[in-house]
Structure 1
Amino acid sequence: MFRTALRNVLAHKTRLLMTVLAVMLGVAFVSGTLVFTNSISEASERASAKGFTAVDVSVTPDWDEDKSDDEQTKLTPDLLDRADRTEGAAFAIGSVTSSVALADKDGKPVGNGWQVAGGNYWGTDDPRYPMAEGHAPKGGDEVAIDSKTAERHGYKVGDKVRMSVDGPVLTPTVSGIFTTDDGAVDAGGSLSLFDTATAQKLFGEPGEYDEIIVKAESGVSQDALMSALGASLPKDSVEMQTGAELASDQAAMIARSMDSLKQTLLVAAGISLFVGTFLIANTFTMLVAQRTKELALMRAVGASRRQVTRSVLFEAFVVGTIAAVTGLVAGVGIGAGLRSLMNSFGANFADGPLVVSSGTVVAALAVGVLITMLAAWLPARRAAKIPPVAAMNSVHAQATTKSLVLRNTLGSLITAAGVAVVLAATTIDKATTAQGPMALGAFLVIIGVFVLTPLLSRPLIAAAAPVLRVFGVSGKLARQNAVRNPRRTAATASALMIGLTLITAMTVAAVGVQKAINKMAADSVKADYVVSMSNFGYLSPDVAEKLAGVDGVTASSPLRNGWATVEDTDESLTGVTGSALGQLTDLPVKDGVSEVDGTRVVVDEKTAEEHGWKAGSEFTVTYDDDQEQRLTVAGIYEANELFRGIMLDLPTLSPHMEDAADQQVMVKMADGTSDAAKDSLRAALGDSPAIKVQDKQDLSDEIAKTITLMLNILYGLLGMAVIVAVLGVVNTLAMSVFERSQEIGMLRAIGLNRKGVKRMVRLESLVISLFGAALGIGLGVFFGWAAGELVGAEVATYELVLPWDRIGVFVLLAAVVGVLAALWPARRAARLNMLSAIKAE
């Protein structure tokens, strides 16, 4: 039986290739994902470990929530000196760090947002950063930059550079270029170092450090040094970690940051495998149907049911093994390609070798073999159940009425349960809580519809009859062929259905989110420009003052963030210029008026509800400086992503803030938006590389760019599922042509020419593909609506938007899939010799 099964595999090389391709794509994607994530994780871990080679023990302040900022422990020169004199310490360095935006020679920011950093160069010879060229920076007019940034952007010693910490522009001279093993720099970021006094002035407070780095003497372990430091430093007010612990923590953080990407890629790979399962099951179902007489003869000469089942499963094992091995090899290439692709998009992962772990090899082999054997098990079991006499009398075993009723009942129950779970999930307030039930419901709906697809195929394909009549006999035959075997048609169409379901759902939800954000900006912001930091940090208060003095500015206001305690609850405060608020915003007021002046404030609806406030209510607020003040609610407004919390006048809030910092600044111009107005605002800020000046369209485009990028990546990932679906259509049609050789030969004999045969096969493929598209787009719109309900609970301006243009593209894509998939089977059918085909068994 095993020899017979092996001969059957090798005797049908084309069928073997198509099935292997379907499994191989899924396995390649899984193994490629594992290779990609393991490689960049290990490279990042190595880079982070190198970054701590000069650190044996790190000393940082121990933050006490019960103390004010003035009472917190400070890392002073005295503590630094005590650390330096500790027994076993070779030296101690005081470190100051922050974010610094550095511009290239065209004035554009370098690096990748959070990866642009600044710090201090210690003395004239910093062991952390060996100087490759020039000398250590001295004074506020000199800076040292890392060698990779210098190489990327063409900077040399003596060049002037433009940079910014929190808004105002600095133009120091490059005094030196140093080398570093910092993983962020390797990944495309930048590191700029000032002398210690300048760094303290720019990033914190003079005479204070963010961290004390201690290097051990030769022969002294990190643990021994940390114990010695614990005895010489105030252990109850500082925290200490060894360099090994820091490297381990950063490696764990890198691994966690990779989890989301890894899960997304694996989900896409799983979808491809799920779709491939339909193809494999369909292939083995047709294979068993074509070999019914052969298997029945084996049963008649003594083969048992178990032997028949095992022979089919052995074929699946051979196919799965070949696919798993080739998929693993292809996956290594995909892993390398993904890293190059991500780097071209600006991800800039750390360099390192490709990592093919034993876990990746085991996963690839297990996925390929198990998925294939699982998909083949049901056809094998069905074949073994056919009585030998019945099988010899009929090549096709028709499904019984009982089995069809059972299938349709089961499919209806699963679909109904899935719809109920999805609808229940839409009523959950928190989107994070609803994600699990939503995913479960969607899975049940897809499985239920797949089970019901044979029942749905007849009425939906019959709806295409008027169009198919235009093609005469070929169109009529194509429709009849498409519904002749509903199960086969269902399995073929379902592969395409799943891919289009996910693509449509994501598109519907993403378009709705984009429109909600646009509506939010249009409805609540009357300002012409919003000014903010490009790295999402806080602006210096100087920025708001400079913008207010620009010619043409009629109104401006910073959004100054703070916190306070109200009735033992921490509440967010936003300081604004009360007199300009009405000119810059259009808050939807639910109660009272949107007037902010003195002790009169406006509060968002949720906060007011939690405290039981209404217009005219009074409450006591305790600021961070422990000062109390009585405030009055002038109005209650509907919150959105831009405005929420308690909004009060700047003169009321600012005296209670030790370090004032603004999230953004809103600006209204006399003549509205224009290139000249934007240029004047940027010029007032010295064309700072750290600052973004955006109008409403810029804000919308920035968000749209992010959403579009995410969609394109997901489209690319789900494209694998579509490719597998195409293979499924090709495989099904090719085997169907082989199965109907006699019928096609007879049609040729009675007058249907080769062109008519080709048209018949192409139309059959087109109908099946469009049937899958109809189901997929319908389910996708439903899931997109459900996901939108979750978004709507968080974003008040969200509303369902059906992107008819993109839906039209998806339908066209399905039609193209159908036409392309039929090219080879149609050509094969047309080239059949009619006499040989009529005589064929």
Structure 2
Amino acid sequence: MFRTALRNVLAHKARLLMTVLAVMLGVAFVSGTLVFTNTISNAFQNSSAKGFDQVDVAVQAKHQDSKGDAVGKTPELTQAMLDTSAKVPGAASATGVVNGFTAIADKKGKLIGGGFQSEGGNYWGDKDARYPLKSGAAPHGSGEVAIDSETAKRAGYKVGDTVRISVDGPVLTPRITGIFTTDDGNVAAGGSLALFDTATAQKLFGKAGTYDEIDVKAAAGTSQAALKSALDQALPKGRTETTTAQKLADDQARTIASSMSGLKSGLLVFAGIALFVGTFIIANTFTMLVAQRTKELALLRAVGASRRQVTRSVLLEAFVVGAVAAVAGLVAGIGIGAGLRALMGTIGATVPDGPLIITSGTVLSALAVGILITMLAAWLPGRRAAKIPPVAAMSSLHATATTKSLVLRNTLGALFSGAGIAVVIAATSMSGSDGQAPMGIGAVLLIIGVFILTPLLSRPLIAAAAPVLRIFGISGKLARQNSVRNPRRTAATASALMIGLTLITGMTVMAGSLQQAIDRMASSAISADYIVSMANGNELSADVDKTLTTTSGVTATSPLRNSPSRIDGETEFLTGVNGSAIGRLTDLKVDNGTFKVSGTQVVVDDDTAKSHGWKAGSTFTTHYEDGKAQQLTVSAVYEGNALIRGIMLDNATLSPHQTDPADMQILVKTADGASSSTKDKLEKALGSNPAVKVQDKKDLSNSIAQVFTLILNMVYGLLAMAVIVAVLGVINTLAMSVFERSQEIGMLRAIGLDRKGIKRMVRLESLVISLFGGVLGIGLGVFFGWAAGELIGSKMSTYELVIPWARMALFLLLAGTVGVLAALWPARRAAKLNMLSAIKSE
């Protein structure tokens, strides 16, 4: 039996090729994901470890917990603490670290980096071991700066150039005195780093005479633990906390590993989808191979082979195919991992240098996945073949399914589908995260149910295409009959394409609906023409509002100023606004009361009001960040959204209780409305500052939608793997079907059907099967998109289902194109068959 199984594999190399390719693609995706994430994780961990070479113990300020109604604050690290740290026993040196957001503009005035990764800091003395100079010298004074080498390379800066820089105030134009190298992870991720001398950095970042961190280097022979103990004894109790560099490195390594695990899980999900689609191809292939060898297997049974031996011979064939595919997939996956790393460099996401990591776990995972998936998919056809009685098998090539098995299959499919629909619909009525797990379970049940029912669904749906197929004459009629001749085979082939299109359509429906909801939210909640904010999401200087107020054409402004407070023993953030203008700058739906923000009168969003039991006319006491208390009155409760929510009160009431007032955003109304010229005027009024964004409502919704667009494009790219595997499945099924129907095709040629007619018949059969899978996939995708949207949109009053008809037509066209392309080789092969040889074949 072992020799028989090997002979069958060698005898059917061409027919098993598509199966090998399908498994290989799935395994390549899995192993490529593991190689890529392990390599990136290792590179970042090594890079972060290098970043702690110049520090043995880090001293940081300890956050003070909130007590009673007082809001907790973080104390400052003073110069005295730095001096003390440098003098403790076992300390070789101590460095004061200052950092903050610093935007660097390129030569066209545009922001370099991603905003959030645009950092600034201090260069310690004339030679800072943390930042080795590549060229030039250390910066001194407010007119000098040093920048990292990656930023200099991207923007084309060199020593001596003048650069536009902004922290949170006016634009600075210092001269570049030095270019340095760094292992900073933000720079590696495509950000930028600017360094000033310590005094300038402290002034720019609002930390005069203080530091964000003190890095202490141990003297020779002193351990990190001993140095930490000495610092704990010398520094003020309760105001600082010390951490060894080893712990910092370990914590950062865990953080990197955790962040990479999310990426790894996401990529492996898509690899799993590709493998799941591949199982249909494998099962289809072995079902057809077993059907073609029914007489042979029956003869083996007749001469003494047991059912178990027949099943084992099929599984052995699957093992050989899976092993070959797994090894090829592993090699391809290593190439994919290396390619993805190189690709990150081409799109600007720099990755630290490091070797390609291929672990034993990656190798074992690739082999296990390839072999087990193939054997699992081949088990059912093998078991089915072994159950056919020898006499029945030798007298009939195709054993038809019994009525009992069909009834059982359809009943099971209906139960799964019904349960899936019920669970999904029930999940839509749940709130947020509570409904995610039930919806996932319901989706899996429904997909399984539809897959089981696909043979039953194939007949009426393919029959609906009959009027169109009649146009193509006898070729169209034969194509329709061939499509429904073996419903299980048609179902397995179409299901592979169905799964890919289900996910693509569902994501498209959800993304389009969310995009429209965001557009409606921006247009309905905000009446302002522009929203001004920092590029990194940090706070704006209070001077920005003053500048905008005095700019010609500006009719109203309102800063949105956040401040922590204590209300009913809990921390709540207050939003300070311009009480006299906020009504003109927003268009919020009021549930009860009159929208009025003045003095002690405030407006509250519906969620906050519900949590505290407030309504219009309610009063409450707030304790500001300076500890002072004041009674406020709710004048109105409004419907909050993702853009505007919280407790709004007049800045004239809030600002006296803030030590350093700063604004998160500024709403601006202009006389001429939103236009490119007005936007240019506002940007110039703010000094063409690279750190400040001026956005109209469309810009705001587009910036939010960019996230969805990026995710959607990534999903399209990743699901392309599943579609490619599905194409292989269609090719495989048609090629083997042509081989199986050689005698029939020879007879058709003999009675007058020419080669063009044969080609047309095979192409139309492929087209019908692909469109059948496409229709099922798009239908399921719309349903899942609706359900997921209902779950996500429960928190968005502007959410409404949007059916992307144009995209869906494109997806259906894609399914048809897949069918036509997949049929090219099988159709050509069918047309080239010698009619006499084909008629004589069994």
- 2:581 counterpart SS class: helix
Q: Which residue of 2 is the match for residue 369 of structure 1?
A: 371
Q: Specify the code of the residue in structure 1 equivalent to 2:202.
A: Q
Is the Cα–Cα contact under 8 Å of residues 63 and 72 in structure 2 kept in the other structure?
Answer: no
- TM-superposed CA distance for 1:594, in Å, is 1.8
Q: Which residue of 1 is the match for residue 3 of structure 2?
A: 3
- TM-superposed CA distance for 1:410, in Å, is 0.9
* Aligned pairs (5 A) from 1:216-255: 216-255=218-257
CA-to-partner distance for each residue in 1:779-824, whole Å, 9 max, x for gaps? Answer: 0000000100111112221110000000000000000001011111
Segments of structure 2 that go 5 or more residues without pairing to the other structure are: none
In structure 2, relative to structure 1, the CA distance for the partners of 1:98 and 1:725 (3 Å cut) is: same
CA-to-partner distance for each residue in 1:219-270, whole Å, 9 max, x for gaps? Answer: 2221221122222223433111111111111111111222222111111110
Segments of structure 1 that go 5 or more residues without pairing to the other structure are: none
Q: Specify the code of the residue in structure 1 equivalent to 2:105.
A: A
* Aligned pairs (5 A) from 1:672-711: 672-711=673-712
- TM-superposed CA distance for 1:125, in Å, is 2.3
Q: Specify the code of the residue in structure 2 equivalent to 1:552.
A: G
CA-to-partner distance for each residue in 1:295-353, whole Å, 9 max, x for gaps? Answer: 00011111111111111001000000000000001001111222233333343333322
- 2:445 counterpart SS class: helix
CA-to-partner distance for each residue in 1:162-212, whole Å, 9 max, x for gaps? Answer: 111124212122222223222322332221111112211222321111111
In structure 2, relative to structure 1, the CA distance for the partners of 1:70 and 1:360 (3 Å cut) is: closer
- 2:59 is the counterpart of 1:59: yes
- 2:27 is the counterpart of 1:27: yes
**Mean Cα deviation higher: 511-520 or 103-112:** 103-112
CA-to-partner distance for each residue in 1:387-409, whole Å, 9 max, x for gaps? Answer: 10000001011111111111111
CA-to-partner distance for each residue in 1:268-299, whole Å, 9 max, x for gaps? Answer: 11000000000000100011000000000011
Distance in 1 between residues matched to 2:351 and 2:558, nearest whole Å: 39
Q: Specify the code of the residue in structure 2 equivalent to 1:489.
A: T
Is the Cα–Cα contact under 8 Å of residues 93 and 218 in structure 2 kept in the other structure?
Answer: yes
Distance in 2 between residues matched to 1:145 and 1:611, nearest whole Å: 50
CA-to-partner distance for each residue in 1:354-381, whole Å, 9 max, x for gaps? Answer: 2111111011000000000000000000
Q: Which residue of 1 is the match for residue 415 of structure 2?
A: 413
Q: Which residue of 1 is the match for residue 524 of structure 2?
A: 523
- TM-superposed CA distance for 1:505, in Å, is 0.3
* Aligned pairs (5 A) from 1:605-624: 605-624=606-625
- TM-superposed CA distance for 1:5, in Å, is 1.1
Q: Which residue of 1 is the match for residue 167 of structure 2?
A: 165
- TM-superposed CA distance for 1:695, in Å, is 0.9
- 2:275 is the counterpart of 1:273: yes
Is the Cα–Cα contact under 8 Å of residues 617 and 633 in structure 1 kept in the other structure?
Answer: yes
Distance in 2 between residues matched to 1:459 and 1:170, nearest whole Å: 72
Distance in 1 between residues matched to 2:260 and 2:88, nearest whole Å: 39
Is the Cα–Cα contact under 8 Å of residues 557 and 578 in structure 2 kept in the other structure?
Answer: yes
- TM-superposed CA distance for 1:837, in Å, is 0.8
- TM-superposed CA distance for 1:147, in Å, is 2.5
Distance in 1 between residues matched to 2:84 and 2:96, nearest whole Å: 12
Q: Which residue of 1 is the match for residue 143 of structure 2?
A: 141
CA-to-partner distance for each residue in 1:538-557, whole Å, 9 max, x for gaps? Answer: 11111111111111000111
Is the Cα–Cα contact under 8 Å of residues 56 and 213 in structure 1 kept in the other structure?
Answer: yes
Q: Which residue of 1 is the match for residue 37 of structure 2?
A: 37
Distance in 1 between residues matched to 2:134 and 2:723, nearest whole Å: 52
- TM-superposed CA distance for 1:734, in Å, is 0.6
- TM-superposed CA distance for 1:69, in Å, is 7.7
Q: Report the number of matched residues.
A: 840
**Mean Cα deviation higher: 831-840 or 507-516:** 831-840
Q: Which residue of 1 is the match for residue 477 of structure 2?
A: 476
Q: Specify the code of the residue in structure 2 equivalent to 1:21.
A: L
Q: Which residue of 2 is the match for residue 835 of structure 1?
A: 836
- TM-superposed CA distance for 1:421, in Å, is 1.4
In structure 2, relative to structure 1, the CA distance for the partners of 1:598 and 1:474 (3 Å cut) is: same
Distance in 1 between residues matched to 2:72 and 2:389, nearest whole Å: 89
User: Alignment identity in percent?
Assistant: 69
Distance in 2 between residues matched to 1:315 and 1:327, nearest whole Å: 18
Is the Cα–Cα contact under 8 Å of residues 51 and 183 in structure 1 kept in the other structure?
Answer: no
Q: Specify the code of the residue in structure 2 equivalent to 1:770.
A: L
Q: Which residue of 2 is the match for residue 729 of structure 1?
A: 730
Q: Give 2:344's match in structure 1, choosing from 339, 342, 345.
A: 342
Distance in 1 between residues matched to 2:607 and 2:75, nearest whole Å: 37
Q: Which residue of 2 is the match for residue 210 of structure 1?
A: 212
- TM-superposed CA distance for 1:70, in Å, is 9.3
CA-to-partner distance for each residue in 1:520-569, whole Å, 9 max, x for gaps? Answer: 01111111111111111111111111111111000111111122222223
Moved over 4 A (4+): 67-72
Is the Cα–Cα contact under 8 Å of residues 97 and 119 in structure 1 kept in the other structure?
Answer: yes
Q: Which residue of 2 is the match for residue 630 of structure 1?
A: 631
Q: Which residue of 2 is the match for residue 176 of structure 1?
A: 178
In structure 2, relative to structure 1, the CA distance for the partners of 1:816 and 1:646 (3 Å cut) is: same
- TM-superposed CA distance for 1:723, in Å, is 0.4
Q: Which residue of 2 is the match for residue 559 of structure 1?
A: 560
Q: TM-score when scaled to structure 2?
A: 0.98
Distance in 2 between residues matched to 1:204 and 1:317, nearest whole Å: 67
In structure 2, relative to structure 1, the CA distance for the partners of 1:231 and 1:565 (3 Å cut) is: closer
- TM-superposed CA distance for 1:473, in Å, is 0.9
Q: Specify the code of the residue in structure 1 equivalent to 2:221.
A: G
Distance in 1 between residues matched to 2:54 and 2:571, nearest whole Å: 41
Distance in 2 between residues matched to 1:210 and 1:320, nearest whole Å: 57
* Aligned pairs (5 A) from 1:419-458: 419-429=421-431, 431-458=432-459
- TM-superposed CA distance for 1:478, in Å, is 0.7
**Mean Cα deviation higher: 17-26 or 132-141:** 132-141
CA-to-partner distance for each residue in 1:101-133, whole Å, 9 max, x for gaps? Answer: 111111111122222211111122222223333
- 2:626 counterpart SS class: coil
Q: Which residue of 1 is the match for residue 296 of structure 2?
A: 294
Distance in 1 between residues matched to 2:563 and 2:118, nearest whole Å: 25
Is the Cα–Cα contact under 8 Å of residues 63 and 73 in structure 2 kept in the other structure?
Answer: no
Q: Which residue of 2 is the match for residue 155 of structure 1?
A: 157
**Mean Cα deviation higher: 466-475 or 562-571:** 562-571
Q: Which residue of 1 is the match for residue 319 of structure 2?
A: 317
**Mean Cα deviation higher: 595-604 or 284-293:** 595-604
Q: Specify the code of the residue in structure 2 equivalent to 1:166.
A: D
- 2:672 counterpart SS class: coil
CA-to-partner distance for each residue in 1:612-645, whole Å, 9 max, x for gaps? Answer: 2222222222211121112122211111111111
Is the Cα–Cα contact under 8 Å of residues 65 and 72 in structure 2 kept in the other structure?
Answer: no
- 1:603 counterpart SS class: strand
Is the Cα–Cα contact under 8 Å of residues 100 and 116 in structure 1 kept in the other structure?
Answer: yes
Distance in 1 between residues matched to 2:48 and 2:190, nearest whole Å: 14
- 2:603 is the counterpart of 1:602: yes
* Aligned pairs (5 A) from 1:120-139: 120-139=122-141
Q: Which residue of 2 is the match for residue 822 of structure 1?
A: 823
CA-to-partner distance for each residue in 1:724-766, whole Å, 9 max, x for gaps? Answer: 0000011001111111111111111111111111111111111
Q: Which residue of 2 is the match for residue 646 of structure 1?
A: 647
Distance in 1 between residues matched to 2:24 and 2:54, nearest whole Å: 46
Q: Which residue of 2 is the match for residue 658 of structure 1?
A: 659
Q: Which residue of 1 is the match for residue 117 of structure 2?
A: 115
CA-to-partner distance for each residue in 1:476-512, whole Å, 9 max, x for gaps? Answer: 1111111111100000000000000000000000000
Distance in 2 between residues matched to 1:388 and 1:487, nearest whole Å: 23
Distance in 1 between residues matched to 2:255 and 2:172, nearest whole Å: 33
* Aligned pairs (5 A) from 1:506-521: 506-521=507-522
- 2:806 counterpart SS class: helix
**Mean Cα deviation higher: 364-373 or 11-20:** 11-20
Q: Specify the code of the residue in structure 2 equivalent to 1:242.
A: T
Distance in 2 between residues matched to 1:347 and 1:320, nearest whole Å: 36
Is the Cα–Cα contact under 8 Å of residues 167 and 685 in structure 1 kept in the other structure?
Answer: no
